[in-house]
Amino acid sequence: MNRIDRIFAALRADGGRALMPFVTAGDPDLETTAAILPALQRAGAHVCELGIAYSDPIADGPVIQASMARALDRHVRPSEVFDMVEHLRADLDLGLVAMVSYSIIMRIGAESYVARAAQAGFDGLIVPDLPLEQADAVCEAAGAAGLVCSLLVAPTTPDERVERIARRCSGFVYVLGHAGLTGERTRLSADLRPRIEQVRNVTDLPIAVGFGVSGPDQVKQVVEVADAAIVGSAIVRRIEEHRDSGPGRVVEEVERFVGTLAAGL
């Protein structure tokens, strides 16, 4: 069984919920990212979305856009991210999911990309700009390599398309907490609960909610209706704020903040 499936199965058996932090690989540098991953595990996270830097981020707000730009300025390449994960994998129980643009996969080739990701120790992919109509090749390659592949359901996604997206997903379904770009929000969308119920009507897969989940109170609200809360911009902003203080301070601050998020589960 894939590690993501095992994590969600164990949580469901105990009535638990998952915390899924997002960080950009290579921001502020790969060495710091390598130190952040075990810190996330210590803080109580279950799965980490590791963003692969891309010059035209899809649906990312200014905080994550800036982190991607910093990683690209350091010339961080997907192959280096794979090498980092491969070096750490044996010491991590944390699930690892690559958040990657379809353009990167297409340039490398779906089978080649997925094979290298699996070899490195990734457990799955999230491809935010992968059109459903073109998803078969990537999702089937992921499945053949033992990886899960999650697509996104937006607030504006029509009912019939929600069902088709859910059928194409494996591991979990990624539901957007609000329309628009990623970023911190003071409150969650009022229609989140009915949207989650809509997705549950068409799939037994766990449901993870991202976009706008920023603090422990919002994590608590999300996991009252969903199986996992995804937090990105609030973590990435703290990395940016402390990056000039050295990697030790960055890791300490991320671990502290993620621990407060885990307390909301």
Of residues 5, 27, 49, 255, which has the active-site annotation? 49
Q: Structure tokens of 193?
A: 């609960």
Q: Structure tokens of 257?
A: 């903040």
Annotated catalytic, 60? yes
Q: Which is nearest to 231 in space by CA: 22, 43, 17, 7?
A: 22
The C-alpha atoms of residue 87 and residue 10 are separated, in whole angstroms, by 26
Q: Long-range contacts for 220-224 (Cβ within 8 Å, ≥24 apart)?
A: 220/264, 220/265, 221/188, 222/177, 222/188, 222/192, 223/17, 223/264, 223/265
Query: How many Cβ atoms sit within 10 Å of the Cβ of residue 221?
Result: 19
Annotated catalytic, 49? yes
Q: What does each C-alpha distance from 109 to 117, 137, 226 come to in angstroms? A: 12, 10, 33
Of residues 27, 29, 56, 60, which has the active-site annotation? 60
Instruction: Tell me the catalytic residues.
Output: 49, 60
